[in-house]
């Protein structure tokens, strides 16, 4: 019997469209001998839909198609199964049941533990990091603080809230003055380089912060690495076992890898693996200009691999994460930049370079998700207690029964 995999994508995120691309790539590369693929699309206004046409990139050019041919559903636990049930209609019938959820989502409100929290609350097995690792993996301030405690090498940084900035700009300026310019200013919880800018001088700082606070309430400012070489590596596994992908060097004419570098690339192209032959404006992270494998000194390569595994374990990550590094090409100093708990295009190209094709990658991710679920349910999360009995007898609740009717 095939395992029914509910691929969840979209959501209220600035990376909504990128998620669609990544999900379509994944759905069209899953082993259909082993899995039944059930697409679950979350719109920008948080409505959930399912239907076969969601596997086709052309569907998303006309939202009326989705409303007409797809079922508007909710996912919940019912009679021993995890079901997608219609929200509308006289009988609100069950459309599909699924065995495991596979989030292919990017950014705030979905990748950041919000979706994972819902999945864990209803008890469904799911692929990828749990709530804790997802939260920390999305919030660059939390992420850096955790890695700092684990002695993971990073550039110097500070972070603050938007309210701190609005109430006392001079205090924020004093905090940032501990860093050496140029600095890079980032919203803490966005991805895909949205809202990020580089400041060469102090007089540009407030302009950059004003840009960043449009996207987040928490802002990170960090030093720029000189003689910059950016490399990425993926780590797959969980806290028990990990393995690393090939390392890529990402190429950009900018001081950091921009949204266009990541997703628009050199021009238009087809979504690799999609059923539609329509030309679209991105192939996801597969469109990025890169050297693969990266040209690295063996000692630097080993250092990147070692730090990547340590960083992955420090956060308690699971599944397949891409970890981005900054290297000073003259001194060979290696600094970790950030982790992507659910990377664009699921970083399949990094594993492909190690002779692990996309289909095998997806299979391994699902198997890790199943193992994580079995470990999770084997732990004790509740126990029998008469605490409420005691509370009712001693906490002055007599007489409330009538009031609650």
Q: What is the mean pLDDT of residues 30-48?
A: 97
Nearest to 350 by CA among 296, 293, 287: 293
Q: What is the mean pLDDT of residues 137-145?
A: 96
The secondary element (H helix, E strand) that includes residue 101 is strand 100-103
Kindly list the distances between the CA atom of residue 38 and the CA atoms of 19, 55, 341, 348, in Å, as whole numbers in the listed order: 16, 9, 22, 21
Quick: pLDDT tens for 270-291.
444 344 433 344 565 666 789 9
> How large is the angle between the packed helices 140-149 and 298-315, nearest 10 degrees?
110
pLDDT band of residue 253 (cuts 50, 70, 90) is low
Q: What is the mean pLDDT of residues 130-141?
A: 96
pLDDT of residue 262: 47
Q: Hey, which bits of 257-384 come out as E strands?
A: 290-291, 319-328, 334-340
What is the layout of strands, in order, in the sheet containing 334-340?
A: 290-291, 242-250, 228-237, 319-328, 334-340
Determine how many CB atoms are found less than 10 A away from the CB of residue 228.
Answer: 14
Peptide bond before residue 162 is cis, with ω within 30 degrees of 0: no
Determine how many CB atoms are found less than 10 A away from the CB of residue 120.
Answer: 16
pLDDT band of residue 155 (cuts 50, 70, 90) is very high
pLDDT band of residue 380 (cuts 50, 70, 90) is confident
122-126, 189-193, 200-204: least confident range: 189-193
Quick: pLDDT tens for 196-241.
999 999 989 999 999 999 999 999 999 999 999 999 999 999 999 9
pLDDT band of residue 390 (cuts 50, 70, 90) is low
60-64, 130-134, 242-246: least confident range: 60-64
Kindly list the distances between the CA atom of residue 291 and the CA atoms of 102, 251, 252, in Å, as whole numbers in the listed order: 30, 8, 11
CA angle 182, 199, 343 (to 5 degrees): 90
pLDDT of residue 271: 42
Q: CATH fold of 3-128, please?
A: Rossmann fold (3.40.50)
What does the domain layout of the chain look like in residue ranges? 3-128, 156-223, 226-376
For the entire predicted model, the pTM comes to 0.87
Q: Residue 405: pLDDT above 70?
A: no
Quick: pLDDT tens for 332-373.
999 999 999 999 999 999 999 999 999 999 999 999 999 999
pLDDT of residue 16: 95
- Look up the CATH superfamily of 156-223: ATP-grasp fold, A domain (3.30.1490.20)
Q: Which two tokens stand for residue 60?
A: 């998303």
Quick: pLDDT tens for 160-189.
999 999 999 999 999 999 999 999 999 998
Q: Residue 386: pLDDT above 90?
A: no
Quick: pLDDT tens for 89-98.
767 799 999 9
Q: What is the mean pLDDT of residues 292-296?
A: 96
CATH number assigned to the domain with residue range 226-376, chosen from the 4 options 3.30.470.20, 3.40.190.80, 3.40.50.720, 3.40.50.300: 3.30.470.20
């Amino acid at each position: 019997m095939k395992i029914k995999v509910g691929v969840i994508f979209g959501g209220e995120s600035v990376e909504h469209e990128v998620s669609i691309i990544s999900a379509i790539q994944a759905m069209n590369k899953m082993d259909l001998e082993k899995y039944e693929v059930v697409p679950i699309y979350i719109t920008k206004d948080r409505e959930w839909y399912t239907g076969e046409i969601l596997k086709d990139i052309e569907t998303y050019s006309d939202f009326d198609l989705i409303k007409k041919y797809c079922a508007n559903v909710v996912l919940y636990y019912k009679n021993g199964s995890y079901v997608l049930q219609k929200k509308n209609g006289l009988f609100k019938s069950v459309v599909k049941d699924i065995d495991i959820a596979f989030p292919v989502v990017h950014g705030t409100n979905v990748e950041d533990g919000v979706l994972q929290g819902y999945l864990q609350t209803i008890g469904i097995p799911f692929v990828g990091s749990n709530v804790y690792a997802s939260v920390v993996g999305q919030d660059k301030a939390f992420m850096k603080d955790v890695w700092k405690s684990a002695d993971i090498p990073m550039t110097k940084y500070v972070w603050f809230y938007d309210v701190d900035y609005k109430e006392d700009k001079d205090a924020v300026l004093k905090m940032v003055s501990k860093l050496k310019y140029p600095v890079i200013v980032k919203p803490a919880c966005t991805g895909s380089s949205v809202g990020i800018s580089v400041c060469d001088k102090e007089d540009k700082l407030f302009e950059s912060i004003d840009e960043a606070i449009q996207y987040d309430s928490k802002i990170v400012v960090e030093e720029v690495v000189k003689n910059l070489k950016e490399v990425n590596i993926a780590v797959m596994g969980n806290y028990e076992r990990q393995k690393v992908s090939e390392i890529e060097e990402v190429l950009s004419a900018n001081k950091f890898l921009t949204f266009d570098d990541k997703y628009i690339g050199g021009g238009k192209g087809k979504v690799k693996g999609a059923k539609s032959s329509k030309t679209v404006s991105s192939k996801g992270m597969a469109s990025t200009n890169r050297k693969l494998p990266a040209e690295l000194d063996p000692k630097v390569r080993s250092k990147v691999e070692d730090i990547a595994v340590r960083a992955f374990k420090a956060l308690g990550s699971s599944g397949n994460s891409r970890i981005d590094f900054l290297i000073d090409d003259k001194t060979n100093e290696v600094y970790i930049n950030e982790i992507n708990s659910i990377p664009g295009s699921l970083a399949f190209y990094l594993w492909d370079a190690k002779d692990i094709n996309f289909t095998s990658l997806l299979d391994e991710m699902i198997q890790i998700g199943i193992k994580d679920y079995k470990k999770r349910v084997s732990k004790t999360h509740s126990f029998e207690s008469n605490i409420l009995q005691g509370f009712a007898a001693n906490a002055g609740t007599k007489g409330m029964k009538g009031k609650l009717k």
